[in-house]
Amino acid sequence: MIELRAVSKRFNQGRPNECRALADIDLRLERGGVTVFTGPSGSGKTTLLTLIGCLARPTSGRIVLDGQLLSNLPERFLTEVRRHTFGFVFQQFNLIRGLTVLENVMLPAYPLGRPHRALTAGARALLERFDLEPKADSKVEWLSGGEAQRTALARALINDPAVLVADEPTANLDSRLSREVLGLLDDLAAQGRTVLISSHDPLVFEAARVCRRLELRDGRLIGDRRC
């Protein structure tokens, strides 16, 4: 379970260009299911996901994961929590050009020190699961949009995370590929993972598989609907 208590985030604090991205967010996220964060651009969706996923720290407030306070952990411990608990799918995929599909999928697991043979086998199993095995040795810049998104999903799962964080996962896809990605995310939730998605795409937040929809505007949580 993830809990946010009076969480706020400001950028350039104390400067003339100070920006309030989030203000006094109180939120409890139970394990499992698909939760979608909606709202217009600039509403704070991505910022909130980066805080939940330990990619950034709140300016004020507390974030608790399964009873452990995260927001004041030293960075080295926070990094360990992030590596073992969260998998990330970014809006622009963030695949490393010049590396193969297989190498990109394996990349987040290297710091964990897994045996190379076991790591390679695990990565190839994920590629097979996402119908990407024939592309394993292809450079990622040669992939289609759908293939790149599936590669990003495989990479996000290489450390077997309990929580998958996806920022606008359908933003660069057409309707057919968007439905395909949503189906994959639904399968992950059915396996017991917690899937957190930010999106302003009705195809995403109106999907039958979504169990909770949280709406943000101007950095505040203004709606919470359970489906």
pLDDT of 202: 82
Question: Of 181 and 130, which is predicted with more confidence?
Answer: 130
Amino acid occupying residue 194: T
C-alpha 51, offset from chain centre:
11
> Model confidence at 29, in pLDDT bands (50, 70, 90)?
very high
Structurally, the chain folds into a number of domains equal to: 1
3-class secondary-structure state, position 203: helix
DSSP secondary structure letter of residue 130: T
In this prediction, residues 31-52 reach a mean pLDDT of 93
CATH classification at residue 134:
3.40.50.300
Work out the mean pLDDT of the chain and round it to a whole number.
Answer: 90
pLDDT band at residue 71 under the 50/70/90 scheme: confident
Tell me the whole-structure pTM to 2 decimals: 0.90
Four-point Cα dihedral 115, 94, 213, 129, nearest 10: -50
pLDDT of residue 90: 86
Q: What is the pLDDT of residue 8?
A: 95
CB 65 within 8 A of CB 2: yes
Backbone angles phi, psi at 197, to 5 degrees: -125, 135
59, pLDDT greater than 80? yes
* DSSP-derived 3-state class of residue 84: helix
Q: Which domain holds residue 22?
A: 2-226
Going by their DSSP bridges, the two strands 68-69 and 212-217 should be labelled as unpaired
Question: Quick one: pLDDT at residue 4?
Answer: 96
Asked if residue 208 has pLDDT above 70, the reply is: no
Residue 19 in this model has a pLDDT that exceeds 90: no
- Tens of pLDDT along 174-197? 888 888 888 888 888 888 899 999
Cα(220)–Cα(24) distance, integer angstroms: 7
